[in-house]
Amino acid sequence: METNKKVIFSGIQPSGALHLGNYLGALRNWVALQDEYNCVYCVVDEHAITVRQDPAALRRQTLELFAQLVACGIDPEKSILFIQSHVPAHAELAWVLNCYTMFGELSRMTQFKDKSAKHADNVNAGLFTYPSLMAADIMLYQADLVPVGEDQKQHVELTRNIVQRFNGIYGDVFTMPDAYIPKVGARVMSLNQPDSKMSKSIPEGCVYLMDSPDEIMRKFKRAITDSDTERCVRYDRANKPGVATLIDIYAAVTGKSYEQIEEEFAGKGYGAFKPAVGEAVVELLRPLREEATRLLADKAYLEGLYRAGAEKAASIAQRTLRKVHKKVGFLPR
């Protein structure tokens, strides 16, 4: 890694297919930041098993996600791209950090509360300590910035607390990271439940990167708008949440402001607006889907990429882990 550049770290779970929320909220930034920073990007399969996964499906989704990240523009020559379980230092540092993370802190995490309500039959210790593994991911690479969607802000805040606590005891071991949240696209909402974030757990309202153009158009045509009689394209999140969701997506995809969008569709109604948003998304995703399909046909090439990525990641991670082991008082190997 070049020494004069700041470090970026981010991760994404292979727990399902990549969707428009992931792309606009996080991935697009991952790509944009590659020239200016030393970027380290990770497919976090260890995080994914905090909820039950089918092993064959997890393997397939991990490879597919890896290919999709490359297709979206993560360049393995510029950035380090790897799979979390291939670098054992993540699990090793997470154990140490668990001993510097408080039960009360973890209990306050909204993702833990949400996921333990959703998976009430499997509230396992990994789901609870998930944020210490995420902190380990970030801290191993001494990351300055963590590009994520709004929902992950609380986890980055917790990481900051752990850094402060650890450094307070042992001196300057870790860099203090900051969350990097985009201005548009930070929280893409579900097309059919506009008060929930777009998520693979609500598949009807979720547009996947690999959806066919027909499927994307179908989802946008069925998107919830509202029943007011004026049927006018105007941004009003409180009273017209469905329309606001579509305007937000259109703004994030085209770069237009709310005012420009309202003007563009003045007097046209939802019948024209919904397919226009659909078409913009189809064109955004088309080249990404085609490139991912092409890459997935060459498994040997992808294997070569993730092996090389893990090697580069491990050498940085190992350096931090050795330092930590020394600080906490483990005998050197």
Q: Where in the sequence numbering do the catalytic residues fall?
A: 115, 197, 200
Q: How far is the CB of 75 from ligand ATP (least distance, A)?
A: 19
Q: How far apart are CA 100 and CA 114, in angstroms?
A: 24
**Nearer to ligand LTN among residue 148 and residue 276 (C-beta):** 148
**Among candidate residues 148, 287, 296, the one with its CA nearest the CA of residue 213:** 287
Residues 233 and 307: beta-carbon distance below 8 Å: no
Structure tokens at 69: 């990240």
* 155 interface partner picked from ligand LTN, ligand ATP, none, CB below 5 to 8 A per type: ligand LTN
* Of 187, 231, 237, 327, the one binding ligand ATP by CB under 6 A: 187
Q: Which is nearer to ligand LTN, 67 or 134 (CB)?
A: 134
Residue 21 interacts with which of ligand ATP, ligand LTN, none, CB < 5 to 8 Å by class: ligand ATP
Q: How far apart are CA 105 and CA 135, in angstroms?
A: 13
78 lines the binding site for ligand ATP (CB under 6 A): no
CB nearer ligand LTN, residue 10 or residue 101? 10
Of 11, 21, 25, 278, which one interacts with ligand LTN (CB under 6 A)? 11
H/E segment holding residue 215? helix 213-221
Q: Vertex 283, ends 281 and 284: CA angle to 5°? A: 60
Q: Taking CB under 6 A as the rule, does residue 148 contact ligand ATP?
A: yes
Tally of CB atoms within 10 A around 95: 12
**Least gap, CB of 54 to ligand LTN (angstroms):** 19
Q: Which of 62, 152, 190, 192 binds ligand LTN (CB under 6 A)?
A: 152
Q: Is 251 in the site for ligand ATP (CB under 6 A)?
A: no
CB-based contacts of 262, cutoff 8 Å, min separation 6: 233, 234, 235, 247
Radius of gyration of the chain (CA): 21
Q: Is 96 in the site for ligand LTN (CB under 6 A)?
A: no
CA 10/CA 43 separation, integer angstroms = 9
Q: Enumerate binding residues for ligand ATP (CB under 6 A).
A: 12-13, 21-22, 25-26, 148-149, 151-152, 186-188, 197-201
Q: Enumerate binding residues for ligand LTN (CB under 6 A).
A: 9-13, 44, 47, 134, 137-138, 146, 148, 152, 155
